[in-house]
Structure formats: C-alpha cells, structure tokens
Structure 1
Amino acid sequence: MDSFTPLTAALGGSLIGLATAVLWLGNGRIAGISGIFGQLLPPAQTVVWRLVFVIAMVSATFVAARLLPGIGMGGDVPAALVEAPAAWGIPTPVWLAIAGLLTGIGTKIGNGCTSGHGVCGLARLSRRSLVAVLVFFGVAMLTVAVTGIV
C-alpha cells in the first residue's frame, strides 16, 4: 500500500456509508454482502432487490476501475486483481477460488461479513460486531504477515 490517498479513501468510505444508509432507510435491510449474496441461491422471496444490489455493486466497481484508472494505485497503474505469491506455486485463479471459499466459510461461521459487521454493526454499537471486526482485522494482518502480500 504505497499510495494511500486520504481523499479517495474518504470518498469511498462516504459512498459506502451512503449506500448502506439508502439500503437501510429505503428497504429496511442491513448491507451485509454475505447475507445479500447468500440468499440468491437458493432464491429467497426477496431475490429482486438482492440481485439488483449485487449487479450494481459489481458494475460500479468495473465502471470506476475503467473511468478512474490508477486512483489509489499510484499514478498510471491500472487496477488489477492480486497475484498469488510466486513462491507458493499456486496459480492465481486457484488462489482466488480458495480465498473466496475460505471467506464464504468464515462469513457463515461469523454470522456476517466485514460490511455487515464492520460498517453496519459498528454503527449500531453492536458488541458482537466489534468482536467480529477485531477478529477479521487480526486474521487479515496475520495473513499479510504470512504471505507477504501487501
């Protein structure tokens, strides 16, 4: 993380806060991505808004990466997926699939994800969310220390 930019971080955080507030006020739902995504298959009664939310989230990320290349990446470096550590000998697609699977298992065990606990839960002063966020960040720091990916 050689190019932290407070302006883009504040803008991104504000947009996340705005999106969660709009979802809460407009739909009465917490913006926990694992819960929203997890209810798509098998389809819940409320699949339409969940599908719209996920498509909008992915589309906005794609559009932002194309319209604002290099924002937060340092100059003209285009946005890209993280590469698997070369020393481990695991292909990047396999690495990403394993990471996604472990993330899904963790959100099921933790009864939520970083967006649900970190953004919405902490805003509601939930002790359970505080513990979950501390565990998330502790494991993230340990993972960075072990893999050397920054």
Structure 2
Amino acid sequence: MDIITSLFPNGMWHYAMGGLLIGAGVSLLYLTTGLQGGASSFFSSTLSFFSRLPYFQSTGQLSSRGWRLIYALGMVLGAALIWQMAGLDIPTTELPAWQLIIGGFIAGFGARLGNGCTSGHGICGVASFDLSSVLAVVVFLSVAILTAQLMTEVLL
C-alpha cells in the first residue's frame, strides 16, 4: 500500500472519477450518434472555418466540424464545471508561453503523424479492438515513460 500512497499522495479518487467521466462521455457520444470522439481531429475540422486549403475543405472536415466543435467545448466546459463544483481553483502553470506553444506544436505534429491523439486511440480505438490504435498507444506510452525518466534524470 505504501507504493500507492507515494504514487498518489493526493489520493486516487479524482483519477478514477476522471476516467469514469471520460468513458461515459465517449460512450454517450458513440451510443447516441455512432461517432468516435477524439480531440486532435477537432483542430483540423475547426481549421476548415478559416483555411481554404483543399484538405480542410474536404467533405469529411466540413461535415464533422459542427459536432467536433461542440464536443471540444464540452470537454473544456465540463472540466471547468467539475473543478468549480469541487470548490477547487482551476490550475495554472508557471511555464513560459513559448514552451507551451512549442509543446503544442510537437503534440499536434505527433497527433497528425499518428493519425490521431491519445484520446482517440487510447479510449475509442483500444475499446474498439483496433490493432493500429493499440500499437499507437504502446508507442505513446513508451515514449512518455522514457521521456519522463530522462527528464527526471536530467533535472535531479
């Protein structure tokens, strides 16, 4: 039990609740519409409002941008609502804006390269027993664990 306390010093309830809410959200989306949720495709479909490049004006981008916009807003507003209901301050970061921007571009590039993001592959794809999603999640997690270990060694 001591390892669990050291890994989760603030408890595990909020992680469990987050997982249950995410699972419920993507399940509700799928059961009511037959659509699979994912966050990275939101950005591509949203760019169809602004960019006239052929990729962003494809039928797939144009036909999905409305529900993807609502889906993304629901993620942001839902998180803010949960934090508000729990009486917590919305967390902030002390990272400089340039680091956040570079991190966003790297994450966005990786999501496009991997044909989806961790939420699309990790939640919807794995639940659908999609082999490419399982492999993508293995790669995502391996790189994340390796990066965390390397950064811990560098910073300590």
Give the shorter-chain TM-score range: 0.7 to 0.9
| Number of equivalences | 135
The partner residue of 1:38 within 44, 48, 57 is 44
Q: 1:2 to 1:17 in 2, by over 3 A?
A: closer
The partner residue of 2:81 within 54, 63, 67 is 63
- SS of 1:119's equivalent? helix
* Structure 2 gap segments, 5+ residues each: 1-6, 50-61
Alignment of 1:132-147 (within 5 A): 132-147=136-151
Identity %, equivalent residues: 33
**Superposed CA offset, 1:115-134 (max 9, x none):** 11100111111111111001
**Aligned-residue RMSD, C-alpha:** 2.0
Whole-Å Cα distance in 2 between the matches of residues 111 and 65 of structure 1?
Answer: 31
| 1:23 matched residue in structure 2 | 29
The partner residue of 1:100 within 90, 104, 114 is 104
The partner residue of 1:3 within 9, 14, 20 is 9
The partner residue of 1:80 within 91, 97, 102 is 91
The letter of the residue matching 2:68 is R
The partner residue of 2:132 within 109, 125, 128 is 128
The letter of the residue matching 2:144 is A
TM-score normalised by length of structure 2 = 0.76
More RCO (CA 8 Å, sep 6+)? 1
- SS of 1:46's equivalent? helix
Whole-Å Cα distance in 2 between the matches of residues 6 and 21 of structure 1?
Answer: 23
- SS of 1:31's equivalent? coil
Q: Counting helix residues as a fraction of each chain, which structure ranks higher? A: 2
1:95 deviates by 0.9
The partner residue of 2:19 within 7, 13, 31 is 13
Whole-Å Cα distance in 2 between the matches of residues 119 and 106 of structure 1?
Answer: 17
Whole-Å Cα distance in 1 between the matches of residues 87 and 118 of structure 2?
Answer: 25
1:137 deviates by 0.9
The letter of the residue matching 1:61 is A
Whole-Å Cα distance in 2 between the matches of residues 54 and 45 of structure 1?
Answer: 16
